[in-house]
Each structure stands twice: as structure tokens, then as C-alpha cells.
Amino acid sequence: MANPAPVVPLLGQPSFITLQSHVLVEERRHPGATGTLSWIISALSIASKTIAAKLKTAGIEDVLGEFGTDNVQGERQQKLDVIANHLLIQLLRSREGVAVIGSEENDELLLVDAAAAGGRRYAVLFDPLDGSSNLDVGGGVGTIFSIFALGDGESGTLQPGRQQIAAGYVLYGSSTIFVLTTGNGVHMFVLDPAVGAFIRVAEHLRIPARGKTYSVNEANLDSFPAGYQRFLGQCRERGYSSRYAGAMVVDVHRVLIKGGVFLYPPTAKAPQGKLRLMYEANPMAMLIEQAGGAASIGGQPILDVAPEELHQRVPVILGSRDEVAELEAMLKD
């Protein structure tokens, strides 16, 4: 009898670990886990796959362009902003344990009458479609999310970002990429459309201590505080490249993988900064810190900021630890 043919592993896929499998393994690290958080991440995964599919056919289905209303930020809503927001809310409301939902597109928190086994209750905050002004020109966009645990009878979510139990983003571009942390490093998954699942492609990502790019809207340079202007001048002298996509997810993803720094300073038009603390700055700061980087508002870590209201804005500095430290030193001067 002939010997059986040897088993040859698939090139590029030494391990076929899905997002769901990864989350279940993480859950087993915590003996008291009830599985509720896993179901919430599952809802975010399903929503992101649905949003990704909508984006691919947006031009055909005539869902590009403005919806015709402003959100609570005073920004013109895109049709896909509204669609993505609705999908996320509906899926999260169906999950046990989701007690509070907060969105960039909604004025107030949505209180959901839900409790999971063991009384575990969570708040989920998100920006449903970051960078949606890029949609009409086929640019990259994303979803950003933040998850907090709530105590007994607690309905508010105004907790410092340091208390997040999970955070992540989804980048919709040439591929659909899901980046997640639950406090045990940063892990990256790519959607395989052939099987309809997110497949893990990188574990425990580490941001380089120094990079060669900076991401900032230099159109506002003249109104940046002097420390930012000196820092950017130094970057140009060192031969740094400027990369700015107009979507936080796109720019932060590049910084996470290749190093460098992402900035959104205070400006004359936005003296408190433009990005929102609770569902943009906090989740990105948790990811960057978990990957060995740093995230600051300029003199204080983003994750230590005590929030005062849901849509609070803050300046944002995040990325490679060395660059963030250099900029903070210039801001002190």
C-alpha cells in the first residue's frame, strides 16, 4: 500500500483563526466570564460586514451623498452615516448585556433595558462611519468603537478611557480590517469574503518607537499652537513624509503599522480640538497604548482625561512613543 501524500499547509495561512475563535480563547482567560462581551463583539463584527457590503454597492444603490440633516455635532450627515448608525444600534440592542449605546450621530445616550446572565452590563460607544466625507470620492472610511463595563444600577458612561474593557476599529478600504484590543495586546483580522469571516493575520502588534511619517491637516498649520509648528518643522527637516487621508481610522492604522505620529491639534476654529473623546480619542488611545505607543492631549494621557459630557472634544496626539514625547516637550516649552 502506497504511503499517503504528505499534508501541505496553505501558504500564508499557517493558522486559520477567526475573530470569533480568538474572542472565545480570550474569554477563557477570565474564569468569571459569562460570554456577554463576546456576543457584543460578534454584533460589531456582523455590523461591520454589513457596512462593508453596503459600501461596495453604494454608488449602484444611490446611497452616496448627503442625507439632508445635521447631526448633533452640526455636521452634514451622509446617507451612509445614517445607515451605518441604524445597523449598529439595531444589532447592539439585540445583544444581552448592552445597557447603554452612545453614537456620534445621536444627541443623547440610548438606554436599553437589558441585563445578561450574572448581571453583566455594558456601554458601547461608537463613531459609525468615520471619514464619511471621503465616500463620494471612494476614499477610506471606518468604524470606531469603545466598550465600558457598568456597575449595578449605573447608566452613565462618563468614565475615563483607562476604564475601557475593549476598543477597536474597522477599516473599510482595499480590504476590510478589524483591529481589536480587550486589554491583552492588539490583534488584527481581515475579512475573507469567500468564507464571510474575519481571519486573524497579526497578533500583539507593536508600534515602532519612531517612524518617518506624520498625519495632520496642514491646512490649519498657521493656527496651531507654536509647539506643534516647531515639531512639524523639525519633522520636515528630518525628511518625514506627510500622510493625511481625512479619516482618523485610515491615518491611525498607518501609524499603528509603520510608526510615526497622528495629530489633531487645537485650532482657531476648534480651540478644544475637533475629535471626540469618548468614541474617537479614547478607543484609539487604548489601542495605541496596548501596542506600546503613547496617546496624549498635550501634557496628559488621553486615557486619564475625566469626561464631562458625551460629545466632548479634545486635542489628540498619538503614535510612536519617541515622537509623542518630543512633541509634549515642545508644548511645555
Domain 213-332 has CATH 3.40.190.80: yes
| Choice among 20-24, 56-60, 95-99 with the minimum mean pLDDT | 56-60
Quick one: three-class SS letters along the chain? CCCCCCCCCCCCCCCCCEHHHHHHHHHHCCCCCCCHHHHHHHHHHHHHHHHHHHHHCHHHHCCCCEEEEECCCCCEEEHHHHHHHHHHHHHHHCCCCEEEEEECCCCCCEECCCCCHHHCEEEEEEEEEECHHHHHHCCCEEEEEEEEEECCCCCCCCCCHHHEEEEEEEEECCCEEEEEECCCCEEEEEEECCCCEEEEEECCCCCCCCCCEEECCHHHHHHCCHHHHHHHHHHHHCCCEECCCCCHHHHHHHHHHHCCEEEECCCCCCCCCCEEHHHHHHHHHHHHHHCCCEEECCCCEHHHCCCCCCCCEECEEEECHHHHHHHHHHHHC
- What pLDDT is recorded for position 57? 82
- The pLDDT-based confidence of 62 (bands split at 50, 70, 90) is low
Confidence of residue 9 (pLDDT cuts 50, 70, 90): very low
Superfamily of structural domain 19-202: Fructose-1,6-Bisphosphatase, subunit A, domain 1 (3.30.540.10)
- Residue 70: what pLDDT? 56
In angstroms, rounded to a whole number, what is the distance separating the alpha carbons of residues 123 and 93? 11
C-beta separation of 139 from 247 below 8 A? yes
Q: What CA–CA distance (Å, rounded) separates 53 from 188?
A: 20
- Spatial neighbors of 128 by CB under 8 A, at least 6 apart, are 51, 81, 84, 85, 87, 88, 103, 104, 105, 143
Provide φ and ψ at 89, rounded to 5°: -65, -45
**In terms of Cα–Cα distance, which of 50, 43, 45 is closest to 18?**
45
Domain boundaries, the chain: 19-202, 213-332
What is the reported pLDDT for 118? 53
Looking at per-residue confidence, does 327 or 61 come out higher?
Answer: 327
Res. 177: pLDDT tops 90: yes
Span of 34-38, 273-277, 309-313 with lowest mean pLDDT:
34-38
**Residue-wise pLDDT tens digits, 249-301:** 999 999 999 999 999 999 999 999 999 999 999 999 999 999 999 999 998 99
Reported as a single tens digit per residue, the pLDDT across 192-248 is: 999 999 999 999 999 999 999 999 999 999 999 999 999 999 999 999 999 999 999
What percentage of the chain has pLDDT greater than the value 70? 86
Least confident of 1-5, 75-79, 115-119, 290-294: 1-5
Residues 6+ apart with CB under 8 A from 289: 295, 301, 303
Q: What is the structure's pLDDT at 169?
A: 98
Residue 285 CB contacts under 8 Å (≥ 6 apart), including other chains: 161, 295, 301, 302, 303, 318
What's residue 153's pLDDT? 57
Confidence of residue 120 (pLDDT cuts 50, 70, 90): confident
pTM of the model: 0.90
